[in-house]
Chains A and B, each alone.
Chain A
């Protein structure tokens, strides 16, 4: 059991993408691996299609939330939201992001335009320590469930080697904490995420 470790993971996405389940699973895995852990969630009004931010903080830290410029890992469920949260990162941060787009209705109604995905990816690459980008929407579909975006991203995150627990730990947590009916597609999505990240 190492308590010297301090790791701040900032997760962001759109209401309905399963960010809360992903953060909770990370928290459970951290606890199972013996680390002190804090998880902060967003509930209530913001969950209705707004931005949902959550955090997982591991190690010798008491605060559950992460200030600007202090996230070691940014886990983004939607590319615009990942880019918006680049202000949470420092020069050594790992960014793991879905390249999939979820159009905000301010864009749909013509009040603003969606920034080019390629440009956002380039800026994320330039201004972080490392970028892992993958089309988690497509991989989730491929795994058999459009709702498994969170599992794809968890797989990609684990594959990075930056979180201190094993594939077995997290797959056991997925198996015990998610509905049996979705287990097969969830695990398939998790492994597709791992493989895609290993290639990225």
Chain B
């Protein structure tokens, strides 16, 4: 049985924030869940997928976030309790749906989990999705711990039904990917069958209906504001003259700072868990009791601005500060030491911050960087190598719009195959723009999952408008970066996975692309020839470079780690493999000169380096007799 399905009420578990959300959804009777994977939200879908294999809970990996939210909306309007999780930028993809779903409302509870990524651990921006609650008018909850994540998810399902509105559960990476002790509650039975009750003048958003629906949204919002005043998720602790307002994971840093500085008796702490609509009366009351206020919130001054607006209605409002010089930044996530220091300085508490050591200064020189890299044996590296050599041989400079996935790491040297990236799917359509604006040779890269997510419309546009670029679809059969989730083209599908596979090659042909070729990048000569031909041609050309993700195959148990390659004495240390290929398993000797070595613990035995070594110095161990 899946661990999140077991356990008695009252039992304690050490759960990831994302697992706590799943448990909370199960305790709230969730019957249907959807997700397009994206860090830091991915584990929510992964656990729900596993659970769907053992229960009648329906889960699907959706093609993209818009599709995901629409499947969820259809189920919720039919009366089911549903959960839909995505990373912050996924909400941009789903935003069109979200804004009008707020008008049409829901029947069964719908929780939209937005997983924001302050500090951009694994994202292209650090937008603050709390503004989506304001923009859409929807209620928003913000947990500060794994325990709260579980409780708020359960509550959000009920609240959503009470208000007939989707509820946004806004989280951040630090919450999603931290484990905390969670006390389990009772699992609630699922209602798995719904019924769609026809009501077109409520659900079909033509202007006449939507005009009324907007009014309904505003009246529901007023009800939500009343709930926010009294629901118990917004709490006031202490009654000192120094006011601190916080929400989300910052609340943990504030709690520790108050204890560390020993100022519990001087502080009144307003901790907000229901952050849209805000509890205006509670905040007014708080503001009349304190002398000055510090707002501790990561990213944008969402609470700070709201507090200032509320304070403007008071006769003697206290000073309110949050962002600014000497205070907090709008950049990146916070940490305990930072919050402690700003709290101390704002309220004039004596505090000497620790002076951390500087390892590079102690060593007397900078430390080598260790950026993430494509894995040893990664088929993307083989494709990039072939493109690099093709362009070198043809004497052509390529411009490389790239996309989102493991292969984005091809940006770094020695591959250096990434020149422009905005968001999921942008490689294809920005390639069209660059090629139209310049006479440069444009070669775009997109992964298989990303192609299905949002690459197809760009390719349709390219064919229809007769654009001129080469698109290389890096097809490794899985959504590798986020943890090997299946996508519509999954190959091979994980055992028991029921989704029908859609072949990218046939999709591309069906879109009207006439110059399309399928290659296996681990067959170097054939791939090189195909790329050279495609680079030299004109019009829309597509190469599908297909070889399974080596980690995925290992995970499926279909590829054992083999470690039988060696570098022979023929190696003249020409460094071609390091300068053009850069497999982490191929290394120069740590000291002195001589042949390269293959790190047997890293090598995944793809065999590609045998094909590229010009001195034929790399071979299988058995063949060399070594």
B259 x A127 contact (CB < 8 A): no
Interface string of B324-365 (1 = CB under 8 A from A): 000000000001111000000000000001111111001101
Q: Which of A27, A63, A111 meets B253, CB within 8 Å? A: A63
CB of B371 to closest CB in A, whole Å: 6
Number of residues in A with C-beta < 8 Å to the partner?
62
Contacts A48-B374, A63-B253 known; A127 to B39 CB distance under 8 Å? no
Q: Tell me if B368 is interfacial: C-beta within 8 Å of chain A.
A: yes
A36 x B121 contact (CB < 8 A): no
Q: Tell me if A80 is interfacial: C-beta within 8 Å of chain B.
A: yes
* Distance, CA A44 to CA B479, complexed state (A): 12
A50 x B372 contact (CB < 8 A): yes
CB of A184 to closest CB in B, whole Å: 19
Residues of A within 8 A of B338 (CB): 67
A47 x B354 contact (CB < 8 A): no
B40 x A43 contact (CB < 8 A): yes
B337 x A69 contact (CB < 8 A): yes
A66 x B336 contact (CB < 8 A): yes
Q: Tell me if B174 is interfacial: C-beta within 8 Å of chain A.
A: yes
CB of B404 to closest CB in A, whole Å: 10
A114 x B122 contact (CB < 8 A): no
Residues of A within 8 A of B373 (CB): 48-50, 105
* Distance, CA A114 to CA B588, complexed state (A): 12
A112 x B582 contact (CB < 8 A): no
* Distance, CA A135 to CA B588, complexed state (A): 21
A63 x B256 contact (CB < 8 A): yes
A62 x B177 contact (CB < 8 A): no
Of chain A, the residue at the smallest CB distance from B17 is A64
Contacts A27-B14, A103-B587 known; A110 to B578 CB distance under 8 Å? yes
Residues of B within 8 A of A47 (CB): 372
Q: Tell me if B409 is interfacial: C-beta within 8 Å of chain A.
A: yes
- Give the segment of B25-33, B178-186, B214-222, B305-313 that binds chain A: B178-186
Among residues 366 to 401 in chain B, which have CB atoms less than 8 Å away from a CB atom of chain A? 366-375
Residues of B within 8 A of A88 (CB): 356
B255 x A106 contact (CB < 8 A): no
* Distance, CA A149 to CA B525, complexed state (A): 39
B177 x A65 contact (CB < 8 A): no
B179 x A27 contact (CB < 8 A): yes
Q: Which of A31, A61, A86 meets B357, CB within 8 Å? A: A86
Q: Tell me if A37 is interfacial: C-beta within 8 Å of chain B.
A: yes
B587 x A104 contact (CB < 8 A): no
CB of B566 to closest CB in A, whole Å: 17
Q: Tell me if A178 is interfacial: C-beta within 8 Å of chain B.
A: no
A109 x B590 contact (CB < 8 A): no
Offer 26 A-B interface pairs, CB within 8 angstroms, sorted by A. A41-B177, A43-B40, A43-B43, A45-B121, A48-B373, A48-B481, A49-B584, A50-B372, A51-B370, A62-B251, A63-B255, A64-B249, A67-B335, A67-B336, A68-B356, A69-B356, A69-B357, A70-B336, A83-B367, A86-B357, A101-B590, A104-B368, A109-B579, A112-B366, A115-B363, A119-B363
B-side interface residues toward A, CB under 8 Å? Answer: 12, 14, 16, 39-40, 42-43, 121-122, 145, 174, 177-181, 249, 251-253, 255-256, 259, 335-338, 353-359, 362-363, 365-375, 406, 409, 413-414, 481-482, 575, 578-579, 582, 584, 586-588, 590, 599, 601
A-side interface residues toward B, CB under 8 Å? Answer: 14-15, 24, 27-28, 31, 36-51, 60-70, 80-81, 83-90, 101, 103-115, 119-120, 123, 127, 146
